[in-house]
Every structure is written in structure tokens, then in C-alpha cells.
Amino acid sequence: MNPAQLAAALLAVVVDAVGRRDAEAAGQLTVDDIALERPRNRDHGDWATSVALKQAKRVGMPPRTLADELVPGILAIEGVAAVEVAGPGFLNIRLEAGAAGELARAIVEAGETYGHNESMLGQTINLEFVSANPTGPLHIGHTRWAALGDSLARVLKASGATLVSEFYVNDAGAQMDVFGESVLAAALSEPAPENGYPGEYITALGLRALGERPDLGSLPRDEAVGIARELAYGWQLDEIRESLERFNVHFDVWFSERVLHAVDAASGSSRIDEAVERLRAQGHVYDLDDAIWVRTTDFGDDKDRVIKRGNGVYTYFAADAAYYLSKSDRGFAHKIYLLGADHHGYVHRLKALAGAAGDDPDRDIEVLIGQLVSINGARLSKRAGNIIELNDLRDWLGTDALRYSLARYPADSPLTLDPELLQKRTNDNPVFYVQYAHARTHQVARNAAASGVDRAEFAGELLTDETESVLLGALAEFPRIVAQAATLREPHRVARYLEELAAAYHRWYDTCRVTPQGDEPVSSIHGTRLWLNDATGQVLRNGLTLIGVSAPERM
């Protein structure tokens, strides 16, 4: 019996008890009202629930009295061995060994779908992250946002959300012109422009552009800058895509800012023009001093924002508005932005923008701010000159070590990684510890096959060792952990869970044997333990997949 099945059975018992006193209240109960937790002290049973405390007020009863009333119905649930009322009204539930052990077979049969849940079903989400300017290589900050954003996308999808991961390409504006000037200067062996982009990669782009267009030096300056800019832009964007794909980060949509600025031939207006008028129609746009303003203070912003200057030039806020509206137009009711530590000022601005667009700032938009990350001993990129590149980090530490370590901590916590630890093949290294546990499950399965042990039989009631009870309990927690990680936007919970599961597995491995010892014949216990072993491997593999880390079969 898995937690979802137990919760559903408990719901029926609670609905019956509440319904005898308040039919309307009973009809409003859902399985979300049945909170199941694993007791810290295993002497208290397999599961504990506080449902009696939560529902007692609704029916006008003392919590413990309601708990006592629920006991007979819970005992009648198939697979429940005992129920105890504790404290002010907690219910401690112990399952029959067979019912608890059945989870191992259920996990193996569910395969890669075990852990998937429906906690986010019906939610349509646009998740934007990284969104680096296509004017240089990805750096260490982008590395963290890439790992966190992609892991968050995976847990949200596993929890039933309809989700699109999106990279907003900032390919319009003054920085692109400076980029073009920098590349052209490098191509023509000229001094770099003031405030231009530095680094060997600019030199390489310049030489490549000159090879593509040997006539750059003879063209009018504006034309030459435009050609150099567009060539280098395409190459640099391709490099960003490739860097992310090698880091196991995939984006469903690459959205170009230029689309927002493009003027439609039929209407004579751009999406930005249309966005301003749409905000005006909502009643939050006004004109003052020849400029156009959005009254964002209506939604908690510290000041109103200029969306179009008196000289007729749109601000960055105008593109932000058009981009936000495009997400709504594409059917995304909920928008999540994962931004860097230097973007705190965007939180109120984007939420105010959502309000001005007619959305609920507290419901329809989230802005998550990631904190800085550093790595001891990491050197600045020789190629880029002033940053630590994603490609260099990946080559140095490996994708798995980087992704696991960056996904292991909350986004809002500053982080310093120890490269020596991440390269160790010892239990002190968390990613090695978890991956080794997975590889061990495969080694156990190979040894079992060589000894004639297979999964032909399953007898869950034989899994009675204390380490088996603990391991089954840990496996049962996985769907709840995934749902919690999605709801709280905290994929690090998956990584921390995997470490606890690996510890439970290693303790079980030290105590229980899947293969017969000596002259011991193969029996049902060996085959049943193989199910448990393989179930653990499946959950470790599923969890590692959610944070974009490989699950090796040998180490």
C-alpha cells in the first residue's frame, strides 16, 4: 500500500465520520485534507496523521474524541494492522507487513513514472530562466540558474503541470550595437570601442566574421557593424544553445526580443505599441510631460514607470510589458521568472506589470531570485577575460557534479562549492554517494542473476527486518517529496531526499542479503528482496533524472 492509496482510504473514513454531523462539510473534503507523515520514532508505526485535529472543530468535537471514533473505520482498511491514538489526537497507523512490502513491486511496475503525481495538474506554466544576452559565453551565475531552472521544470512536469521552459533572447537594444562594434573592431584590428566587450572570444568572432565577409573593411561603417553584429550574434547564440544542451538543459522556446520590436506591415505597429494600448485600456496608463507612464504604484511598486520617453523612445519596461502579455496570449496562466541576484528591483516591477495587465500579482506571476555562487579555486576564463565560463566549469568538474551540487541548495542561499570534494570518489561527496548507491543496486541485481535469484515470486510479508521497514518508508515518501518540491519551487528537496534514501539503502545492504549465502538454497525471501533492491534503484534513478544527473550502472 502506497501513501496515496492509504490517504484515499482514510478520506472515506473521515468523510463518513464528518458526514454524520455535517454533510455539507463532508462533501468539501478532499485527499489533500489527509496529511500523512512518517513518524520519527518507528515504534509509533508506519504512518501518522493529524486529520482528527484538523477536522475536530468542523464537527464540534474534541480532537481525541474524533480520533477515537475514526479508529474502527481505519482498522477496517485492508492492509492496516493497528491504529493508536496519541497525544491530543494524532493517529499512528501500522501496516501489515505484506501491505507495506507491496510497495516494492508497485514501484518496479510503475518504472520511471513512480514519483509522478497530480499536485500541479491543470496549471499552465511558463518558466523563464537564464535568458542571457547573446553577446558572450555563459558564466558561473548562468550555470546556477540553468541547473535550478531545469530541475524546477522537471519536478513541475512530474507533478502534472503543463509547462514550457523558455529562454528570452535579449537580442535588441544598445548592447547589441556595442557587440557589433566590438566584433568589427577585432576583425579590422582596430582598438576596442569604449565600453566594448573584452576577451579572446571577441577576437575569434572578429576573425571568423572577416573570413565570412572579407569586404567588411570596405563597406560603410553602419553596414559593416550590422553585418558583424548579425554574424557574431548567430554564432554566439548557437554556442549558448550547445553549452546548455551539454549541461543537460533543454529549452522548449527561444523567444527573441526582436519579435516585440518588429513593425507589422499591415497595422503599422509593433507588439510593444500594442502592449502600451492594452495597458491603457486597463486604465493604468497616463500621459505626463510628453512621456507615457504606467501607474505601477497601484500594485505596490515604489514609483510609476515610464514606458515611453518624451523623445518617443520606448524603455526596457515597454519590452517587459509586451513580453509578459505575449506569455498570456500564448495561454500561460502562470508565469515564473528565475532571475539573478542583481535583479531584486525587478520583483515589484514585474508584479506591478502583471497587475496593470489585469492579472493577479499574487497568483499569476512569481519572481524567484537566485543568489550568487562561487567555486574555490576557479579561474577566470582566458577566452572571455573577466568571467568564469560554464564550459570551463563543466570540463573541470563534470556535468553531474555541477548539476547535483547546484540543485542541492535553495536558490536564495549564497553558495560556495568545494571542487576538491566534488572530485572525490568517497561518501563525503554527495553526488558520488547517491550515484554509488544506484550503481550498487545494479551490482546486486547482477550478482542475484548469477546466483539464480529472479523476480518470479514476490512475498511482501517477508520484508520484516527493521532496515527493510525503514527503506520501504523512504521509498514511499518519494511522490510526496516531488510534489512538495514542485509546490514550494524547491528542487533541492529531491537531492536531499536521495541522500537519505541512499543511506537507508546502504544500511539495508549491510544487513539483508539478496543472494543466498554458502549452501543456502534460493527462496522467496531472496526474490522478494530483489524486488526491493530494484525498486530502490528505480527511485534513485527517477530522482537523479529530475535534477538532470546521470544514474550510472557501474562505478
Which tens digits make up the pLDDT trace of 433-452? 999 999 999 999 999 999 99
Length of the chain as a residue count? 555
Residues 6+ apart with CB under 8 A from 279: 285, 294, 307, 321, 356, 357
d(C-alpha 328, C-alpha 347), whole Å? 18
Where along the chain do its domains lie? 3-95, 174-248, 425-546
Tell me the CA distances in angstroms from 536 to 4, 239, 270, 447, 473, one per residue in order.
18, 38, 54, 16, 11
For 300, left (φ over 0), alpha (ψ -120 to 50), or beta? Answer: left
pLDDT tens readout for residues 247-282: 999 999 999 999 999 999 999 999 999 999 999 999
- pLDDT bucket at 488, cuts 50 / 70 / 90: very high
DSSP string, 390-423: HHHHHHHH-HHHHHHHHHTS-TTS-EEE-HHHHT
Statement: residue 55 has pLDDT above 90: yes
pLDDT at 387: 86
Spatial contact of 266 and 179, defined as CB atoms under 8 Å apart? no
Residue 2: closest CA among 460, 499, 505: 460
Contacts by 81-88, CB closer than 8 A, 24 or more apart:
82/45, 84/44, 84/45, 85/52, 86/44, 86/48, 88/53, 88/63, 88/64
pLDDT at 145: 93
Statement: residue 424 has pLDDT above 80: yes
Spatial contact of 437 and 505, defined as CB atoms under 8 Å apart? yes
d(C-alpha 505, C-alpha 515), whole Å? 16
- pLDDT bucket at 46, cuts 50 / 70 / 90: confident
Statement: residue 231 has pLDDT above 90: yes
Q: Which of the listed ranges 333-337, 386-390, 466-470 does the model predict with the highest average pLDDT?
A: 333-337
What's the rounded mean pLDDT across residues 498-522? 96
Residue given cell 561518501 in the structure block:
427
The region of weakest confidence among 155-169, 335-349, 541-555 is: 335-349
Spatial contact of 81 and 94, defined as CB atoms under 8 Å apart? yes
pLDDT at 381: 75
Residues 6+ apart with CB under 8 A from 238: none
pLDDT tens readout for residues 174-219: 999 999 999 999 999 999 999 999 999 999 999 999 999 999 999 9
| Proportion of the chain above pLDDT 90, given as a percent | 85
pLDDT at 147: 96
> What is the DSSP pairing of strand 373-375 with strand 415-417?
parallel
Spatial contact of 114 and 107, defined as CB atoms under 8 Å apart? yes
d(C-alpha 249, C-alpha 131), whole Å? 13
SS (H, E, C) 164-201: EEEEEECCCCHHHHHHHHHHHHHHCCCCCCCCCCCCHH
- Name the more confident of 1 and 53: 53
pLDDT tens readout for residues 297-330: 999 888 999 999 999 999 999 999 999 999 999 9
Statement: residue 91 has pLDDT above 80: yes
* Number of CB atoms found within 10 A of residue 520's CB: 11
Q: Which CATH architecture has domain 3-95?
A: 2-Layer Sandwich (3.30)
pLDDT at 45: 85
Taking 3-state DSSP, the helix, strand and coil percentages for the chain, each rounded to the nearest 5, stand at 55, 15, 35
Q: Kindly indicate whether the domain formed by 425-546 is annotated with CATH number 2.40.50.100.
A: no
d(C-alpha 347, C-alpha 367), whole Å? 6
Going by the DSSP 8-state scheme, the letter that residue 74 receives in this structure is H
Q: Which three cell numbers stand for residue 419?
A: 571542487
Statement: residue 531 has pLDDT above 80: yes
Strands (E), 376-523: 415-417
Instruction: For residue 166, count CB atoms less than 10 angstroms from its CB and return exposed for 0-12, middle for 13-18, buried for 19 or more.
Output: buried
Spatial contact of 387 and 136, defined as CB atoms under 8 Å apart? yes
Statement: residue 32 has pLDDT above 90: no
| Proportion of the chain above pLDDT 70, given as a percent | 100
Spatial contact of 93 and 46, defined as CB atoms under 8 Å apart? yes
Q: Which of the listed ranges 341-345, 346-350, 390-394 does the model predict with the highest average pLDDT?
A: 390-394
Spatial contact of 188 and 221, defined as CB atoms under 8 Å apart? no
> What is the DSSP pairing of strand 305-308 with strand 291-294?
antiparallel
The mean of the pLDDT values for the chain is 94
Residues 6+ apart with CB under 8 A from 56: 62, 63, 65, 66, 89
Statement: residue 42 has pLDDT above 80: no
What's the rounded mean pLDDT across residues 419-440? 95
Question: Is the CA virtual torsion 265, 322, 312, 228 positive or negative?
Answer: negative
Element (H, E) at 26: helix 23-27
Report CA 38 to chain centroid distance, whole Å. 24
* Number of CB atoms found within 10 A of residue 83's CB: 19
Residue 442, φ and ψ in degrees, nearest 5: -75, -40
Residue given cell 547546484 in the structure block:
406
What's the rounded mean pLDDT across residues 126-133? 96
